[in-house]
Amino acid sequence: MIKREVRLRFAPSPTGYLHVGGLRTALFNYLFAKQNNGKIILRIEDTDQKRLVKDSIDKIIASLKWIGIDFDEGPHTKNQNKGPYAQSERLDLYRENVVSLIEKGYAYTCLYPDERILQISQDESLKKSAAEYDKKFKDNRPEDSISNMKKKNSVVRLAMPANENILVKDLIRGNLKFDSSLLDDPIIIKSDGYPTYHFANVVDDHHMKISHVIRGEEWLPSLPKHIHLYKCFNWEIPEFAHLPLLLNHDRTKLSKRQGDVAVEDYIKKGYFRESLVNFIALLGWHESNNREFYTMNDLIDAFSLKRVQSSGAIFDIKKLNWINQHYLRQKSSNEIIQLSKNHIPSDWSVNEKMVDLIKDKTQTIEELKEDLKIFFRTPENLKKKLEQNFPSSTISNIQASMIKNLEKYSHIDKEIFNQIMKKVAEESDCKGKSLWQPVRLMLTGQARGPELLGFMQAIGIQECINRLKDVK
């Protein structure tokens, strides 16, 4: 038996942003393809014309490119061997194949008068009973069904077999069995002439020679319909793997109501691509050694569908932040400055010393912006805050002594810093917390924060003097 070439596809709908669940599907397809010396294809499933969003395709492609997923074929690649790769450009192929199905008695056309269309749109119960009502067209002659396809408001349904067990092996869930008597006859061509997902994805997967279909668990109920279609055409059936759902902490399906779900949102917030790839890969998959950190090449070597769980995976933003912090710590401060340019105000002159002081405690670029504020915003309303904890005479003495001693120097190092603090302690008759906390508050506006000498070096002596003078 000739071994089938490994070919996978990621097929998003251009109805909005790239969902993190979609990214997980794209990543797992990519890893499996590359690990098996196969190819991955990007296909655009734009048959739902009413829900198309302008520029959605470009944004989805841009997000995938940013992540580092390179496609071997697709609408944006030089290789157009199995194209076109947008379903809206493949309507002739669908029509040719649906006619073939009708001629063989595996599909039939139903006519929808305007009145019925209106009733169904207004009554949910009629939508549910439509499939049963339409079975009256099932016995129409194939030539009549083909003729009726040309009429207004006609749809084509797939004739599901009666009382048959449809068997299929899922690479994640094992052997599955579906009772065909529990399934409606699904619409495969809509009244606008466009195919539904059920029909288009099977036809496209066959003609694009897809060997493995890795997709989300939400498509599992559709699997028997797709298997039946393959059998109707007598086509080779690809291997299927259905990934677990992504869940919120309360185990409900991941939704925007409980946090960001668009890949664009995480890019805008300054998450690193290696962090997002690493985190997404661990949503439902892990090695037996419970390793936490992977590069893309590491994942290509290690990934296995055998280690993908069938139960839902919790989308834990705290873990993403922890992983992002790991990668942030590995970067030089200069590299972090370059990566953060689009996230911090243009008038902030961030230097490496500032980043050195805060990067070990910072998890994201968004947090970095918050943590950097103390270097650029002069503390406000400090007098009241200081007087709530220290006598006003103590504050005045420390303030005056710090200014006087700092003005003697043009720079500050550890030796000078120790000399200054020793002198201020003598002149203000303060020591310990009574000395150090007021100084820290006057300079940073915070009771806790970066190491004080490093902070003073980062903003410079003159800025230290200016802040001390502003405490009124």
Catalytic positions, written as ranges:
256
Q: Are strands 187-189 and 154-158 parallel, antiparallel or unpaired?
A: antiparallel
Angle between helices 433-444 and 461-470 (to 10 degrees): 100
Q: What are phi and psi of 95, to 5 degrees?
A: -65, -45
Longest alpha-carbon distance in the chain: 106
Closest CA relative to residue 269, chosen from 360, 363, 376, 375: 363
Q: 264-295 burial string, b = 16+ CB within 10 Å, else e?
A: bebbeebbbebbbbbbbbbbbbbeeeeeeebe
Say how far apart CA 305 and CA 303 lie, in whole Å.
Answer: 7
d(CA 150, CA 242): 37
What's the CA dihedral at 114, 117, 122, 126 to 10 degrees? 130
What distance in Å separates the CA atoms of residue 196 and residue 188, rounded to the nearest whole number?
A: 5
Instruction: Confirm if 426 and 397 have CB atoms less than 8 A apart.
Output: no
Q: What's the chain's length in residues?
A: 472
CB-based contact 283:24 (threshold 8 Å): yes
